Amino acid sequence: MDARQYASLPNPFPMWRGGVLHGARIAYETWGKLNTARDNAVLLFTGLSPPAHAASSEQDPDDGWWQGMVGPKLAIDTERFFVICVNSLGSCFGSTGPACSDPATGTPYRLSFPDLSIEDIARAGFETVRALGIARLDTVMGPSLGGMVVLAYAAMFPGSARRLLCISGTMAAAPFTIALRSIQREAITNDPAWADGNYDAAHPPATGQSLARKLGTITYRSAAEWQQRFGRDPIRADMKRGGPFRSEFAVQGYMESLAQRFVSAFDANCYLYLSRAMDRFDLAAHGEPVALFRAARLTQALVIGVQTDLLFSVDEQQAIADALKTAGVATRFAPLSCIEGHDAFLVDLKTFGAEIGAFLAN
Amino acid sequence: MDARQYASLPNPFPMWRGGVLHGARIAYETWGKLNTARDNAVLLFTGLSPPAHAASSEQDPDDGWWQGMVGPKLAIDTERFFVICVNSLGSCFGSTGPACSDPATGTPYRLSFPDLSIEDIARAGFETVRALGIARLDTVMGPSLGGMVVLAYAAMFPGSARRLLCISGTMAAAPFTIALRSIQREAITNDPAWADGNYDAAHPPATGQSLARKLGTITYRSAAEWQQRFGRDPIRADMKRGGPFRSEFAVQGYMESLAQRFVSAFDANCYLYLSRAMDRFDLAAHGEPVALFRAARLTQALVIGVQTDLLFSVDEQQAIADALKTAGVATRFAPLSCIEGHDAFLVDLKTFGAEIGAFLAN
């Protein structure tokens, strides 16, 4: 039950900060049909950790990470659009990344994988689209890390998309988020099991990864949501763990279960590469944002932010929308009041679906 | 150059959640003079980590943690008030805590120290005041953890203070802050050097403590402040450290230097005890807050919160002020717009000083 397809990247594939990949590939899934004019394609980039499986399909009926958003008559309507979701370059769900075997040595790249940038993820998506014979996208879109990627995409490949949809992204990583991500990476690299990246896949740096994911969980949500959801409820007895200083409250059990899932699913080195790529992203490296957006030849844009987002502030979304407007792009800015923080796009499908559906149907 | 004095606690000293301490003491400092009516005393509790040294004095001319706030003609005017600042029970700057020697064994308590609660810190402060021959305080005050303590103080010792001043505290730890603190504790207890609390003072769990402090630093400030202060400036070359995944930006150097100071100054087990005490605090354990505040026989209260505080939300300050008002206490609620987040009381002395000075002068 696997709906993934694979696109071969140009060989060699040059990386934005130096180095090349040989024999690299991108895993992607698609929904809907490409029309004969080849002008109904929507390219979807993901956040830091999801795979290309955004929604169920005949080939893979399991729920996807944006189940309820992508499908027939849904906000991203697969009766009208040909939707492509890519697993990011550098990730570990089928696309080439640090956990993959280096064809030059036959062993995993690990830390010999070249520096990864948001720009490389954008280019890998662009090459995937080109491999599908699509010259111009209807829409390039993505949330979170994917929101950074769509901005890089527009800057690097002018004219390659008619419309842009950016959700809770940013034009440049803010010091507050750099600080948070650097702690998450430190939790992993501090873990003796990380072994300078040379851990065995069966013995990952689980302690550090768990801590990193727990901190992620906190920053993806909001204090107000957790007050409603958990309050000061005690932890379920079977979820208690740790010594005298841990696990008394329900919220701790919630964080623990998400952390366990993450440790078993995501490669630590891939996480480190993707996390650092986010820190380093600064659209200004490509030029002045308004000039970039003007050159991108976009006709329309939708920028969505969430008031309770701790990680990608609503002010940063406003700045993206302002730059697009100044560049002459017909832009709607939607600052949403969802209580779920950064993760609202995954949870409040009704509010997000209304915005996204109205934009795409336009 | 040490201005500390010591108050012996009643022997045995019963702890709120069970257990007793023998021969326990509290380190405190004072500024100003107790008047003959003995009615001009201000008791100041600290946040999680400061010592009793709030301000310089003849005996100890070093700057204190609230230098510029406590002194002659300052907001907490030592020409008028007799100010007492206590090092919290359970801390490590002279008061009895897990790092002290257990008189029963002659070795450090470490994890054999009984459960510590906010209530124990309040009672230890109360006993210190009693030892000084003061029957009723003019004002009991404190920020952060100290803000929790003053609420417990009012509830536990009705009539023991005329006025209450609570800064960025809470009536009950919120799940968002419980989550953050539990990650900080986990960073320490995950560190092999912690050794179930049995580390040698010369070999503390520095890696875990450093991570815990860095996360603290993030939550004590605000994204907006760091954007202004650090932006995307690179780290100073001599501050770079760690492997390929760390330390590229100035904000990381700032966190690192604060973390190093913390590791060398604060005992890890004391931190764990104090952190857990914060999670567990719930004023409702003493009764309904309005009834408690009514019974406390307060005449006036000032509650200060900061709009950008991630840790103790301004809504929580509003709730404290509302309960005090409903209880008939003449209460001013000051929701400040400082950009410095939870730590604003340490940084924006002008804005805080104006509020505190006006209240105390009243």
- CB-nearest to A187 from B187, B227, B229 is B187
- The answer to whether the CB atoms of A180 and B218 lie below 8 A apart is yes
Residues of B in contact with A186 (CB under 8 A): 211, 214, 242, 245-246
Q: At B77, which helix (H) or strand (E)?
A: strand B76-77
- The domains found in chain B, sorted by start residue, are 5-173+282-361 (3.40.50.1820), 177-275 (1.10.1740.110)
How far is the CA of A232 from the CAs of A92, A249, B179, B280, B312, in angstroms?
37, 6, 11, 9, 15
Residue of A nearest to B254 (CA): A179
Best to test chain B binding among A109, A170, A182, A196 (most B CBs inside 10 Å): A182
The CA distance from A181 to the nearest CA of chain B, in Å, is: 10
Residue that the structure tokens 């405190």 belong to: B28
- Percent pLDDT > 70 in chain B is 100
Closest CA to B323 of B139, B154, B118: B154
Asked if residue B303 lies in contact with residue B322, where contact means CB atoms within 8 angstroms, the answer is no
Tokens found for residue A204: 């990952």
How far is the CA of B318 from the CAs of A179, A195, B305, B321, B332, in angstroms?
30, 48, 8, 5, 10
Tokens found for residue A250: 């329900």
Q: Which of A57, A144, A160, A222 is catalytic?
A: A144
- The answer to whether the CB atoms of B214 and A183 lie below 8 A apart is yes
- Rounded to whole angstroms, how far apart are CA atoms A354 and A302? 12
- CB-nearest to A223 from B229, B255, B313 is B313
Best to test chain A binding among B110, B111, B186, B312 (most A CBs inside 10 Å): B186
Residues of A in contact with B191 (CB under 8 A): 190
Q: Which of A120, A138, A267, A309 is catalytic?
A: A309
Asked if residue A329 lies in contact with residue A46, where contact means CB atoms within 8 angstroms, the answer is no
Closest CA to A341 of A319, A300, A308, A314: A308
pLDDT band at B65 (very low <50, low <70, confident <90, very high): very high
DSSP secondary structure string, A152-191?
Answer: HHHHHSTTSEEEEEEES--SB--HHHHHHHHHHHHHHHHS
The CA distance from A110 to the nearest CA of chain B, in Å, is: 12
With 80 as the cut, is the pLDDT of residue A355 above it? yes
- CB-nearest to B180 from A175, A177, A218 is A218
- Rounded to whole angstroms, how far apart are CA atoms A8 and B51? 61
- CB-nearest to A246 from B186, B218, B226 is B186
Residues of B in contact with A272 (CB under 8 A): 245
pLDDT digits (tens, 9 = 90+) for B247-257: 899 999 999 99
Q: Exposure pattern of A251-280 as b/e (b: 16+ CB <10 Å)?
A: bbbbbbebbeebbeebbbbbbbbbbbbbbb
The CA distance from A65 to the nearest CA of chain B, in Å, is: 24
Secondary structure class of A274 (helix, strand, coil)? helix
The CA distance from B41 to the nearest CA of chain A, in Å, is: 35
Write down the pLDDT at residue B91.
98
Closest CA to B102 of B280, B262, B269: B269
- The answer to whether the CB atoms of B179 and A255 lie below 8 A apart is yes
Predicted TM-score of the model (pTM): 0.96
Please tell me whether the peptide bond between B12 and the residue prior to it is cis, using omega within 30 degrees of 0: yes
Residues of A in contact with B192 (CB under 8 A): 192
- The answer to whether the CB atoms of A175 and B222 lie below 8 A apart is no
- The answer to whether the CB atoms of A246 and B180 lie below 8 A apart is no
Tokens found for residue B209: 């403590």
- Rounded to whole angstroms, how far apart are CA atoms B260 and A115? 29
- Rounded to whole angstroms, how far apart are CA atoms A147 and A127? 18
- Give me the interface pTM, i.e. the ipTM: 0.95
- Rounded to whole angstroms, how far apart are CA atoms A57 and A55? 7
- The answer to whether the CB atoms of A179 and B211 lie below 8 A apart is no
pLDDT band at B237 (very low <50, low <70, confident <90, very high): confident
- Rounded to whole angstroms, how far apart are CA atoms B48 and A25? 51
- The answer to whether the CB atoms of B249 and A111 lie below 8 A apart is no
Residue pairs between chains A and B whose CB atoms are closer than 8 Å: 152
- The answer to whether the CB atoms of B207 and A189 lie below 8 A apart is no
The CA distance from B316 to the nearest CA of chain A, in Å, is: 11
How far is the CA of A270 from the CAs of A220, A287, B295, in angstroms?
19, 28, 58
- The answer to whether the CB atoms of B243 and A218 lie below 8 A apart is no
A8 in catalytic set: no
With 90 as the cut, is the pLDDT of residue B242 above it? no
Asked if residue A343 lies in contact with residue A221, where contact means CB atoms within 8 angstroms, the answer is yes
Asked if residue A74 lies in contact with residue A353, where contact means CB atoms within 8 angstroms, the answer is yes
- Rounded to whole angstroms, how far apart are CA atoms A222 and A343? 9
pLDDT digits (tens, 9 = 90+) for B181-218: 999 999 999 999 999 999 998 999 999 999 999 999 99
Q: Exposure pattern of B178-216 as b/e (b: 16+ CB <10 Å)?
A: bbbbbbbbbbbbbbeebeebebeeeebbbbbbbbbbbbb
pLDDT digits (tens, 9 = 90+) for A286-297: 999 999 999 999
With 80 as the cut, is the pLDDT of residue B340 above it? yes
pLDDT digits (tens, 9 = 90+) for A71-95: 999 999 999 999 999 999 999 999 9
- The answer to whether the CB atoms of B182 and A226 lie below 8 A apart is no
With 90 as the cut, is the pLDDT of residue A254 above it? yes
- CB-nearest to B175 from A174, A231, A279 is A231
On average, the pLDDT of chain A sits at 97
How far is the CA of A149 from the CAs of A120, A167, A263, A290, B301, in angstroms?
9, 11, 25, 17, 51
- Rounded to whole angstroms, how far apart are CA atoms A113 and A267? 14
Residue that the structure tokens 């860095």 belong to: B214
pLDDT digits (tens, 9 = 90+) for A293-329: 999 999 999 999 999 999 999 999 999 999 999 999 9
Secondary structure class of B112 (helix, strand, coil)? helix
A161-167 vs A137-143, strand pairing mode: parallel
Write down the pLDDT at residue A241.
75
A309 in catalytic set: yes
With 80 as the cut, is the pLDDT of residue A242 above it? no
Write down the pLDDT at residue B357.
98
Mean pLDDT of A275-279: 98
Write down the pLDDT at residue A54.
98
With 90 as the cut, is the pLDDT of residue B245 above it? no
How far is the CA of A107 from the CAs of A98, A112, A113, in angstroms?
10, 10, 11
Write down the pLDDT at residue B244.
82
- The answer to whether the CB atoms of B182 and A252 lie below 8 A apart is yes
Write down the pLDDT at residue B239.
82
Asked if residue A129 lies in contact with residue A84, where contact means CB atoms within 8 angstroms, the answer is yes
In this structure, the dihedral spanned by the alpha carbons of residues A165, A168, A170 and A176, taken in order and rounded to 10 degrees, is 180
pLDDT digits (tens, 9 = 90+) for B271-323: 999 999 999 999 999 999 999 999 999 999 999 999 999 999 999 999 999 99
The CA distance from A52 to the nearest CA of chain B, in Å, is: 26
Residues of A in contact with B280 (CB under 8 A): 248
Q: At A318, which helix (H) or strand (E)?
A: helix A314-326
Mean pLDDT of B120-126: 98
Of A88-97, A234-243, A311-320, B86-95, give the lowest mean pLDDT range.
Answer: A234-243
Mean pLDDT of B135-163: 98
How far is the CA of A314 from the CAs of A304, A310, B167, B223, B228, in angstroms?
8, 9, 28, 12, 17
DSSP bridge partners of B29: B85
Mean pLDDT of B28-34: 98
B22 in catalytic set: no
- Rounded to whole angstroms, how far apart are CA atoms B3 and A342? 48
How far is the CA of A39 from the CAs of A81, A163, A296, in angstroms?
9, 12, 17
